Each structure stands twice: as C-alpha cells, then as structure tokens.
A and B are shown apart, each in its own frame.
Chain A
Amino acid sequence: MSDKDLNKDKLSGPAQPLSENRNAREERDGNASAETSNDFVRRIAEQKYQFGFTTDVHTEVIDRGLNEDVVRLISQKKGEPDWLLQFRLEAFRYWQSQEQPSWGHLRLPDIDYQDISYYADPTARKADGPKTLDDIDPEVMKTFDKLGIPLEERLALSGTAVDAVMDSVSVKTTFKERLSERGIIFCSISEAVREYPDLVRQYLGSVVPYRDNYFAALNSAVFSDGSFVYIPKNTRCPMELSTYFRINARNTGQFERTLIVCDEGSYVSYLEGCTAPMRDENQLHAAIVEIVVLDNAKVKYSTVQNWYPGDSEGRGGVLNLVTKRGHLRGRNSRLSWTQVETGSAITWKYPSCVLSGDGSQAEFYSVAVTNNHQQADTGTKMIHLGRNTRSTIISKGISAGHSENSYRGLVRVGRHADGARNYSSCDSLLFGNLCGAHTFPYMDVQNPTATAEHEATTSKINEDQLLYCNQRGISTEDAVGLIVNGYAKDVLNKLPMEFAVEAQKLLQVSLEGTVG
C-alpha cells in the first residue's frame, strides 16, 4: 500500500489532493462562513476542554478496515521480526472468534471496526522515522509545547523524561542517553522490538495474554506505539518517566502498548497523560499496559486521563477501553496504581495486580469523575496468590450531569495465600439528581487465614459546605473545587507533585457548572 491510498477521509473535502494526506481540520476551521450560530454556541460551551485543538500535520494514515493484511502491513511498517507478526496474527484470529463484552454498566455504542484506520503516522516525512529533533515536523513540536510537554530536553520539566506518542507513533523520547548511562532502557516499544528483542519477547503478553479479553486481543493484533521501560537490578531510576499520549488524526484508533519491567531491588515512578481533539464521532483508544515487578522492586504508576469526554449532549469523545495489569512476581515486590480519570466518553478500565510473590504489596488509588453524558466503569482486581500479600483499594467516584459512574472491583484470595489482607474503600459523591453512582465489589476468598474488608459510602455534595464557603467569599465554582479536592485528597496525595497540581485543576474544570 503506498502513500497514495492513504487517508481517504471523507471530511478532508474534495479540494484536497490525495497525495497531500493532510489531516482534516475541524470543519469550522475549514469553512468559517458556514459556521451557524449553533456551532458558535457549542464551541463556547466546550471551551473548557482546552486540549481540543487539532494539528495540521502531514500524517500517513492507512486505509480503514481490519483484516490480516492490515495486521501484516502494520508489522511491516514497523519492521518487526517474524515472531511478533505471528503473535499479532494469532491475536487477530482469536479476536475474530470473540464478541465485544457487554457486562459493563455502560451503553457502549456499536463500534464498526472496519470503519477505523489502525495506523496513523505523523512522522512519516522521513523514511524511517525522526532521528533528531530537526527531523520532527515543527507542527508536532508545537502540539506538544501547547500541551505543556516540551520535547527539547533543556526546556523539559526537571526530573521527568518523556516519551511523546502522537497517534500510532512515538515522536520523541527525551533523556534516553542520560538514563542509559545507568543501564535504564526507556524508549518506544517499536524501538525496543528492534533494539532489545529478547527482553520484549520474554515479557510481552506475559502479564496480559491476548486471550485475556476482547480488547486485549484487538490491541495485541494491531498495537502501534507505547513505551518500554527496563530498570536493571538494584537501580533507583533517577527521574520520573512519563508517556504522553495524543490522538490527532481523524477516524483512527490508538492502540497503545506499554511494557515496564522493574528488576530486583529497583524502583521506578512512571506517569501517563492523555488528551485528544474535540470531534463529533467517537474515537477508540484500546490500550494494554503490562508491568512486571521482580524481588524487592517497586513500581509506582500514575495516570491523569483527560481524553476528550464528548460534548454536553454526549456527542463524540474517546472510547477508552483499556487493560492494565501488573504482575508482582518477586518476593516483597510492590506496585501502586494511581489514576485520575476525568476524560473519555466511556472508560472501561481495571488496573489490576497479581500478587504472586510472597510478601508483595499492591495499591490502587482512583478518582474517577464523570459529567454530562460520560460513562465510567472502572476499578481494579487484586489477585492474591502469594503468602502474606497485602492490597489496598481506595476509590473515589464523582458523578455529575447525566453521567454514570461505576466502581467494579474483584478481590480474590487463592488457596495458598496464607495471611493475605485486603482493605477496600469506595466512596461516591453525587452532584444533582440525574447522575448515577454504582459499586460492584466482588470477593472470592479461598483461604481461611485471609482478611478482606470493604467499606463504601455514597453522599451528595453538601449544601451546608457550599454555603459555608460562599459566606467566606469563595465562589461556588471555587468551593466545588475545594470540596472535591478535599474529598479526593487521599488519592491526589499519591501523585507526584507536578501531576497533583494539574490533577487538582482538572477536577475543578471537569465539574464546572455542576452546582448553582
């Protein structure tokens, strides 16, 4: 398939030559005179999603549709070895035999998997991807600058290395060299497949096999980019590692694949951020994140998910269907998931932990906000297999507008997990009378020495608290921000500093206009 066949985007308009392959901009940009007053009102109403812009950048997009040829094409484009192609094909065949799950407390729209493009490359200007900053399209650089993620190391946040992924391709990974001095590998998964095939082969699919679920199978067949992290033995990673995911191209899905391996006695803190343009149609983000934690190692994984949530009528938005799991393989290993979920039209996500190492400890801290017509079904699974394993679940749901917000969690204690302990606490906070909050806790304890505790509360935003703040001169918007941040404090405290500040602002913005 050549460039000429690419991007048959019906919204690009007939005037655009096919060979140009420019991403379609928002219709309103293309034809300002056609903007109706309705569009204008909507645009103003949506201003609070400040990451909704699109970037006009030369992007190579393959034809829509999904079949074995597409899987082969993706693999070929990335120059992958045969074992990986076979892995993809097996996953694809399995996916074909499966049906989309319907057990979530979600109204998942029918997804036409043949109407999505599975690969979009905004770096396609150069034959084999960008080598230096000079090779990256300045528009792409500008995009990340605008998102507050400068790709030039001298401008970067101190102490944070970034892998920047736009659509299907990692654009740039910063501080790679400095990290490699300590033997730390931090690069895109595509590069890892080329440079460290043995490591990737050893661990890819070992935590989330492609048969795990429908979306995991889909991802395993068509995954594009994501990050690869390897921390060698007895190494404390000197900086925060982060990946920033950006969806830009229209009618494409993003299939992130991230793999983190933390070897014995090591530590890493990893952050993930996500945004996407505002579009009327849904966009699919089906990711897999796998984490392997060996003896006495510790991984801290934080997410601030701010995909475009759709407009106030529920049009558009990202479908965030994600499988994240960590395997605490080593003795006394530790893994902590922290997530702040404010975006996406639909979130289907259960960052989980398999605690097989004796004495391993896992934590899940979550704040999930839904507003307007957003739906979230999110939680975790804690699978205790080793002895004296411990897990903690703190979930804070916040629902507003017409949204539906569910916590779904499983705590399973296996027969041999003597002395396993779990503590779960799930709180829901409601704004108004039209939203829903649901809790689905599952427990399966097969060992008599185990203890599992579950606490849950549901409350409405307290009018007396609002009055108290108002009487001190604090506006209702600011008061909601204060109260909600106080409510979510136990989770926000777990985020690294810069992230926590961003997350606090995000919570307030997400709930603007929900009271009074």
Chain B
Amino acid sequence: MLEIHNLHASIAGKEILRGIDLTIRDGEIHALMGTNGAGKSTLSNVIVGHPAYEVTEGSITFNGQDLLQMKTEDRATAGIFMSFQQPVEIPGVSMQQFMRAAVNARRKALGQDELKASDFLRLMREKRKLVEIDSRLVNRSVNEGFSGGEKKRNEIFQMAMLEPTFCILDETDSGLDVDALRIVAEGFNKLRTAETSALVITHYQRLLDYIRPNVVHVLLDGRIVKTGGPELAQEIENRGFDWIKSLTPNPSPNGEGNSRSSSLI
C-alpha cells in the first residue's frame, strides 16, 4: 500500500524529516507518536502533497505509484484522505457544493459518471447518519462557525463520503472532549473495511483506546526512533517521551530496521 523510503523533507530551507522509512500494508493501522516539532505533521503534509514542503531525498509509493510525482488532487482521488488537524473554513461554499465537487472528482478519476443530484443527496443523507452528524452542519458553509468537535466530526463525514483506502488522522483528538473523541473514533471504525489502512498521529494514548493500532512508531527530530506494538503507546503514556530520548541515541539515521520490524508485526 504505502511505502516510504529514506524520506527527507524541508520547509523554507529547514530540514524537518531526516530519513523516514515506513511501510503500511493494506488493513494496517499505524500510530505515529512524538513530541511537538518532531515532524509528525510534516510527514502527513508531505504524503498528501502540501506545496510548501520540499522533498529533498527519498521516495513514497502508493499502490506502486510514485506519489511524489502526483498532484495533491490526484493523490486524493487515488484514495488518500487526510483528516486535518485544523480544518479551514470556506465562507459561502456549502458543504453540499463542496462534497459534490469532491465526490465527482473522485468518480471522474475512477472513470465513473457524475452522480445525479438526487443520488448525491441520498448519499449525503446515508453517510450523515452513519457518522451521526447533524443535518444543520451539512447545510452550512464548509466548517464556518463549527466548534472544534464539529469540525473533526465533519472530517470523518467527508471521509465517509469519499471512501478512501488510506487515511491520515492528523491529531484528530486535539481539542476534543471525551464524548466527541469517542464519536469521532467510532465513526472512523465504522467506516473501516478490511483493506483500509491508516496513519494515526497523536500525542496521547486515549485515541488509541478507540482506534487500536497494529504498529506504533515514535518520531523524534525527523526520524523514527522506535517501533513496537500497541504496548509501546501505553509505555509512552506511563513514562513520557523523555524515556525514549534517553533510550535511543540512534546513531543510524537510516531507520531501515524500524520499518522492517513494523511490517513484521
């Protein structure tokens, strides 16, 4: 599914990622943990194709395609979806208009005809129920005046509409109370199929109580310094990141061993 090899990336000339190796197979959920500034969001932005980030070395392939050669929108229609940490507001553009453009772009990429208006509205209704999102929200402008929790729930709703095969949840838990977190996480779990894979970025264990990862990685200074099973997240919760820092001087920036271990689990 997704293979990242020796990825280096920088923003405004400053190197953030210093050699990431990561393989995520169909159906796998990988958690990515780490302190602020470790490069977690940079990695997700590079995967989706944020134009501000420059890849200086390495490769990313997605289902065999060279992702770095693809435009942001083509990566999306190929099945990559990111739940944004801070979803932007688009004033004057209704969720309906927005989703219609997105759904039809995906269909076009798959060689399907545009969805008829009535079919589209039915799809909106079905998916809205699935993720328990209020009809008032989908009738408003994109994210405009939404609370933090509503915005995150709206991200999951969009995911339901677009049925991606690979999802990035970029700190979806930040700014959510326990109830909102549960609803969002359960929404995600409902949408998952056996093939869906995901990269779940978080500081905390609590999201991983709902979305159970197969593999947990710890990112520090732009490198994956430790990879383990779900118990690694629990250990971080108990002992903090300093424990990892003290544990791994990590002289090899290569990190190949990490990715191999990840795919073994």
Contact = CB atoms under 8 A, between A and B. Distances in A.
A183 to B, nearest CB: 40
A475 B105 contact: yes
Interface in A451-509: 462-465, 467-476, 478, 482-483, 485-490
Given A465-B88, A475-B105, 13 more contacts: A470-B71, A471-B82, A472-B76, A472-B101, A472-B162, A473-B73, A473-B106, A473-B109, A476-B73, A482-B98, A486-B141, A487-B91, A490-B92
28 contacts: A463-B51, A467-B48, A468-B84, A468-B87, A468-B88, A468-B90, A469-B90, A470-B71, A470-B73, A471-B48, A471-B72, A471-B82, A471-B84, A472-B76, A473-B106, A473-B109, A473-B162, A474-B98, A482-B93, A483-B90, A485-B93, A486-B91, A486-B93, A486-B141, A489-B91, A489-B93, A490-B92, A516-B51
A51 to B, nearest CB: 26
Given A472-B102, A472-B158, A467 B91 contact: no
Interface in B81-114: 81-82, 84, 87-88, 90-93, 97-98, 101-102, 105-106, 109
A488 B141 CA distance: 13
A465 B51 contact: no
Interface in B112-146: 141
Contacts of B105: 472-475, 478
Interface residues of B, number: 29
Contacts of B158: 472
B149 interface: no
Interface of A: 462-465, 467-476, 478, 482-483, 485-490, 516
A475 B74 CA distance: 8
A467 B87 contact: no
Nearest to A475: B73
B135 to A, nearest CB: 20
Contacts of A464: 88
A150 to B, nearest CB: 26
Contacts, number: 79
Given A465-B90, A486-B92, A470 B72 contact: yes
A473 B77 contact: yes
B187 interface: no
Given A463-B51, A482-B101, A470 B76 contact: yes
Interface in B4-63: 48-52
A465 B101 CA distance: 14
Instruction: Name the 10 nearest CB pairs between A and B, nearest first.
Output: A486-B92, A489-B92, A486-B93, A470-B72, A473-B105, A472-B102, A473-B76, A473-B77, A464-B88, A470-B73
A175 to B, nearest CB: 31
A485 to B, nearest CB: 7
Given A463-B51, A467-B50, A470-B76, A478 B93 contact: no
Nearest to A476: B73
A478 B109 CA distance: 15
User: Which of B81, B87, B102, B141 is packed against the most chain A CB atoms within 10 Å?
Assistant: B102
B25 to A, nearest CB: 23
A478 B103 CA distance: 13
A486 B90 contact: yes
Given A472-B158, A473-B73, A474-B73, A462 B88 contact: yes
B88 A482 contact: no
Contacts of B91: 486-487, 489
A contacts with B: majority SS: helix
Interface string B144-174: 0000000000000010001000000000000
User: Which of B48, B72, B91 is packed against the most chain A CB atoms within 10 Å?
Assistant: B72
Contacts of A474: 73, 98, 101-102, 105
A470 B88 CA distance: 13
Nearest to A472: B102
Nearest to B45: A467
A475 B70 CA distance: 12
Contacts of B109: 473
Contacts of A471: 48-49, 72-73, 76, 81-82, 84
B155 to A, nearest CB: 10
A100 B158 CA distance: 56
B102 A473 contact: yes
Contacts of A486: 90-93, 141
A432 to B, nearest CB: 15
Contacts of A489: 91-93
Given A475-B105, A482-B98, A488 B84 contact: no
B102 A467 contact: no
Contacts of A463: 51-52
A468 B256 CA distance: 32
Contacts of A465: 88, 90
User: Which of B81, B105, B106, B162 is packed against the most chain A CB atoms within 10 Å?
Assistant: B105
B76 to A, nearest CB: 4
B98 to A, nearest CB: 7
Contacts of A472: 76, 98, 101-102, 105, 158, 162
A463 B81 CA distance: 18
B256 to A, nearest CB: 29
Contacts of B102: 469, 472-474
A485 B76 contact: no
Nearest to A462: B88
User: Which of A470, A472, A473, A516 is packed against the most chain B CB atoms within 10 Å?
Assistant: A473
A465 B92 CA distance: 13
Contacts of B71: 470
Contacts of B77: 473
A347 B54 CA distance: 42
B97 A482 contact: yes
Contacts of A490: 92
Contacts of B88: 462, 464-465, 468
Given A474-B102, A475-B105, A482 B72 contact: no
Interface string B166-196: 0000000000000000000000000000000
